[in-house]
Amino acid sequence: MPSPEPKLICCNVSKIFGSGAREFMASAKADISAEALASAGLVGAVRNVDLEVRSGEIFVIMGLSGSGKSTLVRCLSRLIEPTAGEILFNGENLLAASDSRMIEIRRHQMGMVFQNFALLPHLTVLANVAFPLEVQGIDRSTREARARKMIELVGLSGKENAFPRELSGGQQQRVGIARSLAVEPELWFLDEPFSALDPLIRREMQDEFMRLQSVLKKTIVFITHDFDEAIRLADRIAIMKDGAVVQAGTPEDIVLNPATAYVAEFTRNVPKAKVVRVASIMRQANGAMPNGAATVQAHATVSEAAPVFGDNSEHLGVVDGDSQPVGVLHRADVVDLMMRG
């Protein structure tokens, strides 16, 4: 389980576009529904969002285009100034930070990957990756050594002297990832990093991303419009609609208990067995574990556990990360879940 200590807390954050937005927020604090805003001639890109991103977790913000997810992530890094609310990063209120303090924070503690890569066209791969360090005034040999390491990490060794235009989309995004990691950020924003890529490459990049995260253990805010991607990558998901978060929770929570019809629409076609973890449907072990029975990890998904059932076994032992028994998985429960689709 990831440690519960929060890295980034976002309280009541709103971003209202239009003139007089601040006055509106001050006067009508209670009601910032889409209708109330529209009648005032304003647009609520982000409305009263509360989030908590914990250290070391992958927090996915999922929403369709226009749902405000990109605005929200830019509010979190203060690329866009929120109209109201509070953002605490390591306990420090970002909205109260001075410009120079923000530059400091962004230089050393934050990294961001962009949907369309945002590579500088006039720089080579090496220079692009080293650019954030160059901006900090780090000397050439140090920054290039670090950049080379990052390029190696994302598997682009040998392409150091290529220009962005000479790379494929997937390779370009690898450069983007390497660049965002060059400053060794604590908090890593990824704004729809794989949306501009072909489906096959996207899949490959998702795997690559998971591999990187298993090594790096960053705190991640990941934006996507693709529910499957969210389910696949997330420790926790927040689903946004019209600027507000409609549901936040683990992929399991969301798939098993969609809060609204809107969320249910997304979850309907997700095979539950691929999301639900063994721990959620296991039963208490009554007495001793059947000896010799196979065991599965509590955090494995049900679809991963299913093949472990032998032809005749009705139960599987469930163990936690330290191989201590925590419960029993019944075949009937697995079948039941799979039948629900």
Partner 1 sequence: MSARSHFQPLAPAREGSPSRGNSASLIAWGVAIAAFLLLWRFGAEALKWTFDYPKSWQIPLARWIGDAMKWLVNQASFGLFTFTDLTRFIASIIDLPYKLALSLLSTGFLSGQGSSAVQILPPLSWIAVIAIVTMMGLHAGGRRLALIVGLCFGFLAVFGQWQSAMVTLASILVAVPLSVVAGLLLGIAAYRWPRFEKALTPVLDLMQTIPVFAYLVPILFLFGFGPTAAVVATLIYAMPPMTRISTLSLHSVPSEIHDLGKMIGCTRRQMTWRVLVPSAKDSLMVGVNQVIMLSLNMVIIASMIGAGGLGFDVLAALRRLDIGAGLESGLAIVALAVALDRLSQAYAERAGAPGTTGIVGGSFVARNPYTLAALAIVLLTGLAGLALPFVQTYPESLRLSTGSFWSNVVAWINVNFFDTFEAIKNAVLLNVLVPFKRFLGGLPWLGVTGLLAFAGYRLGGIRLALVVSILAFLIAATGQWEKATITVYLCGISVMLAMLIGIPIGILAAERERLWSWVRVIIDTLQTLPSFVYLMPAVMLFRVGDFTAMIAVVAYSIVPAIRYTVHGLTKVDPRLIEAGRAMGCTPWQILTKIKLKLALPEIMLGLNQTIMFALSMLVITALVGTRDLGQEVYIALTKADTGRGLVAGLAVAFIAIIADRLISAGAARTKARLGLA
Query: Which residues are near partner 1 by CB under 8 A?
Result: 74, 77, 79, 102-108, 110-112, 114-118, 120-124, 131-132, 134-136, 161-166, 183, 189
Radius of gyration of the chain (CA): 23
Of 74 and 315, the one with the shorter C-beta distance to partner 1 is 74
Tokens of 33: 């529904």
Dist CA 123 CA 131 (whole Å): 9
Of 163 and 262, the one with the shorter C-beta distance to partner 1 is 163
Dist CA 238 CA 8 (whole Å): 14
Of 170 and 271, the one with the shorter C-beta distance to partner 1 is 170
Dist CA 52 CA 55 (whole Å): 10
User: Are 302 and 272 within 8 A, CB to CB?
Assistant: yes
* Min separation Cβ 84 and partner 1, Å: 21
Of 114 and 262, the one with the shorter C-beta distance to partner 1 is 114
* Min separation Cβ 108 and partner 1, Å: 8
Exposure letters 114-137 (e unless 16+ CB within 10 A, then b): bbebebeeebbbbbbbbbbbbeee
The alpha carbon of 90 is separated from its chain's Cα centroid by a whole number of angstroms, namely: 18
DSSP code at position 45: E
Helix (H, G, I), strand (E, B) or coil at 16: strand
User: Are 247 and 241 within 8 A, CB to CB?
Assistant: no
* Min separation Cβ 77 and partner 1, Å: 6
Dist CA 296 CA 328 (whole Å): 9
Of 17 and 163, the one with the shorter C-beta distance to partner 1 is 163
Cα angle vertex 8, ends 155, 48, to 5°? 120
Of 105 and 240, the one with the shorter C-beta distance to partner 1 is 105
* Min separation Cβ 109 and partner 1, Å: 10
User: Are 184 and 106 within 8 A, CB to CB?
Assistant: no
Dist CA 206 CA 194 (whole Å): 8
Beta bridge partners of 156: none
Of 218 and 315, the one with the shorter C-beta distance to partner 1 is 218
The alpha carbon of 26 is separated from its chain's Cα centroid by a whole number of angstroms, namely: 32
* Min separation Cβ 204 and partner 1, Å: 22
* Min separation Cβ 6 and partner 1, Å: 22
Of 77 and 267, the one with the shorter C-beta distance to partner 1 is 77
* Min separation Cβ 54 and partner 1, Å: 22
Alpha helices (runs of H) in 156-301, residue ranges in sequence order: 169-181, 199-216, 227-233, 251-256, 261-267, 278-281
* Min separation Cβ 116 and partner 1, Å: 6
* Min separation Cβ 216 and partner 1, Å: 18
Of 160 and 229, the one with the shorter C-beta distance to partner 1 is 160
Helix (H, G, I), strand (E, B) or coil at 38: helix
